[in-house]
A and B are shown apart, each in its own frame.
Chain A
Amino acid sequence: MENHENIIEVRNLVKKFGSFIANDNLTFNVKRGEIFGFLGANGAGKTTAIKILSGLSFPTSGEVKVAGFDVYKEREKVKKNIGYMSQKFSLYEDLTVRENIRFYGGIYGLSNKYIKEKTESLLERLKMNDIQNSLISSLPLGWKQKIAFSVAIFHNPKIVFLDEPTGGVDPVTRRDFWEMIYETSDSGITVFVTTHYMDEAEYCDRVSIMDQGRIEGLDTPEELKKQFEAKNMDEVFIKIARKQ
């Protein structure tokens, strides 16, 4: 039976690379429309999990459904319904802002008219009308990240996966970025975000904390703080990482 409240359902997900277990028996759900924080130390297995959820990698075992589709059998359907912003930089440096948007819009099969109208409103919203014909390589990192995020949700996916979207970005731009995440969430897109910054964890509706391939805590930030008797998410995180 499909649960319509959950847009992502993961049961006993295991991913092994040789003898190394990157994801050890993960089980969790992500609810439609929420901002789901996916936290963990470096090498905890976040990126591995996000790649499986977005159809870039096969799970070793377990059951994974994204937007109602099985990631084993219906990967292309999964891909139609998700947006993805990778840790690596994903725009073409030698194309302009507008050309990048147009290209990604095009390969998602959007109509010319839609691409044109949406590009205009997007440039308006990002206040990037002046630089629409500048090459991506000439822009500061924070701006690139905002454009990359906008491109990832350009085709109106049901879910967007953000893999450390605010890495290396200044606090002001990070704040702007979270504004964009809220707007996205308000428009009905589920946001699945990984991060290192614990203050950002507080902005999420629910948070899961991974350590050594396992999920050690999963709840709202409030509940997690109660559960671990911590003042803030920072403490929660440290308690989990030190527990072992």
Chain B
Amino acid sequence: MRKIKFILQKEFIQVFRNKTMLPMIFGVPIIQLVVLVHAATLEMKSIDMYVVDKDLSSLSHKLINKFEGSPFYNISGVSFSIDEANETIEKNRADFVMHIPYGFERDLIRENVTQVQLLIDGINGTAASLINAYSISVISDFNRNIIVDLTKMPDIKDLNPIAVETSYWYNPELNYKTYMLPGILVILVTIISMFLAAMNIVREKEIGTIEQLNVTPIKKFEFIIGKLVPFLIIALFELAFGLVIGKVFFHIPIVGSLWLLFGFTTVYLLTVLGIGLFISTISSTQQQVMFISFFFMLVFILMSGIFTPTESMPVWAQKVNIINPFYYFMRVIRMILLKGSEFRDISHEFFSLLIYATIMLSLSVWRYRKVA
């Protein structure tokens, strides 16, 4: 055990003496959290719309006014020509076109049915479906109002007997930042711990000092623990630091127990550090480590549910997520912070990761060879 103390001491001296490490530890979280949380938003604020109004009736004006009145839309132009409208989409000057055909008002009054066409730029599928959903809700709201106007029936409420009232639990205003910040924290903590640990061992291989260590009677587990603990501590510190930033700048709610969060994070970090150490035992250069961990990071992050709910992924993808450490932590950090989940709520994730950590750490101890 005393030997571990000497390794820890050495690692910490090296970390704090390294001129790029301190800026990494403090700078990266600030930049990532402040920039990414603001930037990675799914809210649509200014949708550029182009209107082709061939009807020029009072009803079509009302519909256009309805859009104009919404804070989300920004009318970039109006014309009679559908060709001109298409061109604005092609030139990226509009996100979508609303085409009100000739006879819009007449058809509605005579036949009770009329049509509007929406042409949406589908380059970004997510944005397109959001524009579609927003616009449909604006149009159906308009629809309800004209029914009232046309029928002049005061008890029109009966036409809409089921009133849907939505309330969003745990994030009542659907604040995107509240949702994104914990997710970005997960990535941050993971990258710092996994990368640094893997790079550290491989650097010793490259320089040749590992040979000097391998010729000493140091035990494999002592070596692994000595390499693991410094980065565990740094990553836990990163989490605390990130939470402070979140609380101060973004006012994210911290509903659950911080002890539980840090306890869970420790088990999570043992898993990712285990993966990092394992990668370092099978690589001989820092370049190899970079490529291997980049590959896994990218796949794991995109599948983790940071942007898209894992439940809507195909079944095979959900199966793959069993070995995705991000997946567990992404769920749990949001559950604890936003929902105030307790240990019994996250025990499944906790024990899964505990098994995972045990496997990865055993693998790296087993795979680590005291040879040159």
Which residues on A are within 8 Å of B, measured CB to CB?
51, 54-58, 75-77, 79-80, 82, 84, 86, 88-95, 99, 102-104, 106-109
User: How many Å from the CB of B372 to the closest CB on chain A?
Assistant: 4
15 pairs across A/B with beta carbons < 8 Å? A56-B371, A57-B372, A76-B217, A82-B215, A84-B212, A86-B208, A86-B212, A89-B207, A90-B208, A91-B209, A92-B14, A93-B207, A94-B13, A106-B5, A108-B217
B222 to chain A: closest residue by CB: A107
- A residues within 8 A CB of B9? 103, 106
* Contact A107 B6, beta carbon cutoff 8 Å: yes
User: How many Å from the CB of B189 to the closest CB on chain A?
Assistant: 25
* Contact A56 B215, beta carbon cutoff 8 Å: yes
- B residues within 8 A CB of A56? 211, 214-215, 370-372
* Contact A90 B211, beta carbon cutoff 8 Å: yes
* Contact B6 A103, beta carbon cutoff 8 Å: yes
B17 close to A (CB within 8 Å): yes
B14 to chain A: closest residue by CB: A94
Given A54-B215, A99-B10, 12 more pairs with CB closer than 8 A: A56-B214, A56-B215, A56-B370, A56-B371, A76-B217, A79-B217, A84-B215, A88-B208, A89-B207, A89-B208, A94-B14, A95-B14
B213 close to A (CB within 8 Å): yes
B218 close to A (CB within 8 Å): yes
**How many angstroms from the CA of A104 to the CA of B208 in the assembled complex?**
15
B18 close to A (CB within 8 Å): yes
- B residues within 8 A CB of A86? 208, 211-212, 215, 372
**How many angstroms from the CA of A95 to the CA of B7 in the assembled complex?**
13
Give the most central of B9, B10, B213, B215: most A CB within 10 Å: B215
B residues 5-24 with Cβ under 8 Å of A? 5-7, 9-10, 13-14, 17-18
User: How many Å from the CB of A74 to the closest CB on chain B?
Assistant: 11
**How many angstroms from the CA of A194 to the CA of B216 in the assembled complex?**
20
**How many angstroms from the CA of A91 to the CA of B212 in the assembled complex?**
8
- B residues within 8 A CB of A104? 212, 216
B3 close to A (CB within 8 Å): yes
CB-based closest 6 A-B pairs? A106-B6, A88-B208, A90-B212, A56-B372, A84-B215, A79-B217
B319 close to A (CB within 8 Å): no
- B residues within 8 A CB of A55? 215, 370
User: How many Å from the CB of B356 to the closest CB on chain A?
Assistant: 30
**How many angstroms from the CA of A93 to the CA of B6 in the assembled complex?**
17
User: How many Å from the CB of A114 to the closest CB on chain B?
Assistant: 12
Which residues on B are within 8 Å of A, measured CB to CB?
2-3, 5-7, 9-10, 13-14, 17-18, 207-209, 211-219, 370-372
- B residues within 8 A CB of A92? 10, 14, 209
B223 to chain A: closest residue by CB: A107
**How many angstroms from the CA of A85 to the CA of B1 in the assembled complex?**
25
A106 to chain B: closest residue by CB: B6
- A residues within 8 A CB of B215? 54-56, 79, 82, 84, 86
Give the most central of B7, B14, B217: most A CB within 10 Å: B217
* Contact B2 A106, beta carbon cutoff 8 Å: yes
Partner of B7, one of A54, A84, A107, A109: A107
Partner of A107, one of B18, B207, B211, B216: B216
**How many angstroms from the CA of A92 to the CA of B209 in the assembled complex?**
7
**How many angstroms from the CA of A113 to the CA of B356 in the assembled complex?**
41
- A residues within 8 A CB of B209? 90-92
**How many angstroms from the CA of A54 to the CA of B370 in the assembled complex?**
11
**How many angstroms from the CA of A103 to the CA of B5 in the assembled complex?**
10
Partner of A109, one of B3, B214, B371: B3
- A residues within 8 A CB of B370? 55-56, 75
- A residues within 8 A CB of B6? 102-103, 106-107
- B residues within 8 A CB of A54? 215
Given A80-B217, A82-B215, A106-B5, does the pair A94, B371 have CB atoms closer than 8 Å? Answer: no
User: How many Å from the CB of B241 to the closest CB on chain A?
Assistant: 25
User: How many Å from the CB of A84 to the closest CB on chain B?
Assistant: 4
Given A51-B372, A57-B371, A95-B14, does the pair A79, B3 have CB atoms closer than 8 Å? Answer: no
**How many angstroms from the CA of A54 to the CA of B219 in the assembled complex?**
16
B15 to chain A: closest residue by CB: A94
- A residues within 8 A CB of B372? 51, 56-57, 86
User: How many Å from the CB of B279 to the closest CB on chain A?
Assistant: 22
* Contact B3 A106, beta carbon cutoff 8 Å: yes
**How many angstroms from the CA of A231 to the CA of B211 in the assembled complex?**
39
A89 to chain B: closest residue by CB: B208
- B residues within 8 A CB of A93? 207
- A residues within 8 A CB of B211? 56, 84, 86, 88, 90
